């Protein structure tokens, strides 16, 4: 696949951020309506919204030796 510089995602809400109902979590730039719906679904599945903040993740996941 070719890289399309007109397409991209800007993440606005990061892990642990407090967000209000209706507040955008990300913005999407696109140039192909046919792919927008699938991309939006995939992006929406990247977030889990709950009442409690998430457990902190370690900055180092694994050490390679």
What's the pTM? 0.67
- Integer Cα distance of 28 and 23 in angstroms: 14
Residue 62 has pLDDT above 80, yes or no: yes
Q: Which residues, listed in sequence order, are joined to residue 10 by a DSSP beta bridge? A: 27
For residue range 22-56, list pLDDT tens digits in order: 999 999 999 999 889 998 999 989 888 888 888 88
pLDDT for res 11? 93
For residue range 6-30, list pLDDT tens digits in order: 999 999 998 889 999 999 999 999 9
Residue 1 has pLDDT above 80, yes or no: no
- What is the residue extent of each domain of the chain? 8-44
Q: Let me know how long the chain is.
A: 65
| Cβ contact 45:26 at 8 Å | no
């Amino acid at each position: 696949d070719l890289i399309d510089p007109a397409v991209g995602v800007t993440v606005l809400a990061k892990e642990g951020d407090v967000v209000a109902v209706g507040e955008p979590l990300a913005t999407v730039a696109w140039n192909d309506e046919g792919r927008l719906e699938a991309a939006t679904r995939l992006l929406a599945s990247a977030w889990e919204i709950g009442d409690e903040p998430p457990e902190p993740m370690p900055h180092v996941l694994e050490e390679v030796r």
